[in-house]
Amino acid sequence: MKLKEFESDTIIEPFRIRSVEPVRFTTMEERAQLLKEAGFNPFLLKADDVLIDLLTDSGTGAMSSKQWSGMIASDESYAGSSSFYKLESAVRDITGFKHLIPTHQGRAAENIFFTTIAREGDVIPSNTHFDTTRAHIEHAGAEARDLVIAEGHQPESRHPFKGNMDLAKLEKTIHDTGVDNIPVIMITVTNNSGGGQPVSMDNIRSVSEMARKYDIPFFIDACRFAENAWFIKTREEGFSGEKPLDIARKMFSYADGCTMSAKKDGMANIGGFLALNSDELASECRNLEILTEGFPTYGGMAGYDMEAVAQGLYEALDSDYLRYRIRSIAYLGDKLSDAGIPIVQPTGGHAVYLDARKILPHIPPTQYPAWSFNNALYLLGGVRGVEIGTVMFGRQPDGSEKPAAMELVRLAFPRRVYTQSHVDYLAEVIISVFRQREQLGGYKIVSGPTVLRHFSARLEPLDP
Ligand SMILES: *Cc1c(COP(=O)(O)O)cnc(C)c1O
Encode burial over 397-426: b for 16+ CB neighbours within 10 A, e otherwise: eeeeeeebebbbbbbbbbbbebebebbebb
Phi, psi of 344 (to 5 degrees): -70, 125
**What is the tens place of the pLDDT at every residue in 383-417?**
999 999 999 888 887 888 999 888 999 999 999 99
Q: What is the mean pLDDT of residues 10-25?
A: 92
Evaluate if residue 463 carries a pLDDT over 80.
Answer: no
Atom of ligand 1 nearest to the CA of 271: 7
DSSP 13-33: -SS--SS--------HHHHHH
Percent of the chain surpassing pLDDT 90: 89
Atom of ligand 1 nearest to the CA of 193: 13
**What is the tens place of the pLDDT at every residue in 102-140?**
999 999 999 999 999 999 999 999 999 998 898 899 989
Residue 464 — pLDDT band, cuts 50, 70, 90?
low
Omega prior to 102 cis, within 30 of 0: no
CA–centroid distance, 339 to ligand 1, in Å, is: 32
Decide whether any atom of ligand 1 lies within 6 Å of the 126 Cβ.
no
Nearest Cα neighbor of 359 from 348, 350, 349, 372 is: 372
CA distance 117 to 257: 13
Decide whether any atom of ligand 1 lies within 6 Å of the 191 Cβ.
no
SS3 track for 293-355: CCCCCCCCCCHHHHHHHHHHHHHCCCHHHHHHHHHHHHHHHHHHHHCCCCECCCCCCCEEEEE
Q: Kindly report the CA angle at 309 between 305 and 314, in degrees rounded to 5?
A: 160
Encode burial over 93-125: b for 16+ CB neighbours within 10 A, e otherwise: ebbebebbbbbbbbbbbbbbbbbbbbeeebbbb
CA distance 197 to 460: 34
Among protein residues, the one with the nearest Cα to ligand 1's atom 4 is: 106
Evaluate if residue 6 carries a pLDDT over 60.
Answer: yes
Of 3.30.420.280, 3.30.450.60, 3.30.70.20, 3.40.640.10, the CATH number of 65-315 is 3.40.640.10
Residues in a beta bridge with 186: 219
Q: What is the mean pLDDT of residues 209-213?
A: 98
Nearest Cα neighbor of 171 from 159, 185, 150, 183 is: 185
Q: Kindly report the CA angle at 197 between 130 and 440, in degrees rounded to 5?
A: 85
DSSP 69-116: HHHHT----SSS-HHHHHHHHHHHHHH--SEEEEESSHHHHHHHHHHH
Evaluate if residue 155 carries a pLDDT over 90.
Answer: no
- Residue boundaries of the structural domains of the chain: 28-57+319-461, 65-315
CA distance 8 to 78: 50
CA–CA distances in Å: residue 277 to residues 92, 131, 232: 10, 25, 25
Q: Return the best residue to mutate from 57, 112, 192, 259 for the ligand 1 pocket (most ligand atoms within 8 A of CB).
A: 192
CA distance 333 to 338: 9
Among protein residues, the one with the nearest Cα to ligand 1's atom 3 is: 106
The architecture that CATH gives domain 28-57+319-461 is Alpha-Beta Complex (3.90)
Sign of CA dihedral 197, 191, 415, 23: negative
